[in-house]
Amino acid sequence: MIPVARPLIGREEEEAVLAVLRSGIIAQGPEVERFEAEFAALCGTRYAVAVMNGTTALYLALLAHNIGPGDEVITTPFSFIATANSILMTGATPVFVDIDPQTYNINPDLIAAAITSRTRAIMPVHLYGQPADMTPIMELARRYHLAVIEDAAQAIGATDHGKPVGSFGVGCFSLYATKNVTSGEGGMITTNDPALADRLRLLRSHGSRVRYYHELLGYNFRMTDIQAAIGRAQLKKCERFTAQRIANAAFLSAHIRHPAVITPFARPEVRHVFHQYTIRVIGNRDSAIKQLNAAGVGTAIFYPLPIPQQPLYRKLGIEAETPVADRIAQEIIALPVHPALSNDELHQIAAAVNALAVSESVAIA
């Protein structure tokens, strides 16, 4: 079976880790600092702050803005649970705004109606590697004095109107094993604001600037030099990996021809980095997945249940009307698009989709 994700670890990563292990400094040290500088350069920001994973990146970005109980943060219902959970962790309330039916990202036209006197921030997600529509989002943020915390976990290297994600507001990245660039587990927060970067560093490490003196309540959310060494080796390959993902996606979209299948839509203004290549199948999805798997094509569903429908959110009584997300969640299937795919495998994936026998297929709206 062609896997839907495959971490690409080579000699460079192996050698970099060995060098750190032999250096005598294995926790947060000079490798983390170098990784931060290189990551900031890639995102076009002044600062990057490394943390242990993408979830803590989101959580600390919210805390650094003093967001907490009584506050509301506007976000998308169609994402990994960590997006909205980071808001819950602070004691604030996530407010869900439905998605655009073409990009599956938060619909900017619906945001204004969700803003209240308690709203403190907007947290868009650049889902599957496609930037959310940042121009109207930044305009709303300016008008209503809101922070923008970008969940860029899936979108390293993506741009909107030529501007890198993570440089619009505060960027939160994940370096989890299956993300486009990995350090095993890891996270990064990008910003141009020196005071915010300083606060993030304090929060990351027990509120301590000088060892054993503590200014505020912080955590131990640090990245190790071992992780940073892997991340630095990966970052050097980021552009090559990304170009290959984009080429693979272009191949699939050019070769998939099926009346009941919708291939991904990319806004013309963006560079979509295809963390996922997600088709919509109008008809019986379970049957389509069985057929694809039988043809040797691995699949995944990101995500089967919109966040407001999750048992946790039901229990909390957080209500949201998100009919578009509810529908899309039942129709999407992620196909392999990672840079390790061979030409034969790409042909095999497209052929398997084109051969789908989809029951109850209806005209695509």
Q: Which residues neighbour 284 within 8 Å (Cβ) at sequence distance 6 or greater? A: 358, 359, 360
Q: What is the Cα–Cα distance from 228 to 8, expressed in whole angstroms? A: 16
Q: Least distance to ligand PLP from the beta carbon of 126, Å?
A: 8
Q: What is the Cα–Cα distance from 174 to 84, expressed in whole angstroms? A: 15
Nearer to ligand PLP, 55 or 291 (CB): 55
Q: Least distance to ligand PLP from the beta carbon of 137, Å?
A: 16
Q: What is the Cα–Cα distance from 310 to 112, expressed in whole angstroms? A: 25
Asked if 153 touches ligand PLP (CB under 6 A), the answer is yes
Q: Least distance to ligand PLP from the beta carbon of 186, Å?
A: 7
Q: What is the Cα–Cα distance from 124 to 128, expressed in whole angstroms? A: 13
Asked if 151 touches ligand PLP (CB under 6 A), the answer is yes
Asked if 53 touches ligand PLP (CB under 6 A), the answer is yes
Choices 148-156, 200-208, 287-295, 356-364 (CB under 6 A): range interacting with ligand PLP: 148-156
Q: Over the range 232-250, which residues count as b (16 or more CB within 10 Å of their CB) and which as e?
A: bbbbebbeebbebbbebbe
DSSP-assigned letter for residue 152: -
Query: In whole angstroms, how large is the CA radius of gyration of the chain?
Result: 21
Asked if 174 touches ligand PLP (CB under 6 A), the answer is yes
Q: Least distance to ligand PLP from the beta carbon of 361, Å?
A: 30
Which of 125, 137, 292, 333: binder of ligand PLP (CB under 6 A)? Answer: 125
DSSP-assigned letter for residue 132: P
Q: Least distance to ligand PLP from the beta carbon of 127, Å?
A: 7
Q: Pattern 11-50, binding to ligand PLP, x per CB under 6 A? A: ----------------------------------------
Q: Least distance to ligand PLP from the beta carbon of 58, Å?
A: 6
Nearer to ligand PLP, 174 or 248 (CB): 174
Q: What is the Cα–Cα distance from 365 to 361, expressed in whole angstroms? A: 12
Helical H segments across the chain, by residue range: 11-23, 30-43, 54-64, 81-90, 134-144, 194-204, 225-255, 285-294, 311-316, 323-329, 343-354
Nearer to ligand PLP, 151 or 225 (CB): 151
Site for ligand PLP in 57-86 (CB under 6 A): 79-80, 82-83
Between strands 93-96 and 72-75, the pairing is: parallel
Nearer to ligand PLP, 131 or 356 (CB): 131
Residue facing ligand PLP at closest CB distance: 54
Nearer to ligand PLP, 108 or 186 (CB): 186
Q: Which residues form the interface with ligand PLP (CB under 6 A)?
A: 53-55, 79-80, 82-83, 125, 151, 153-154, 174, 176, 187
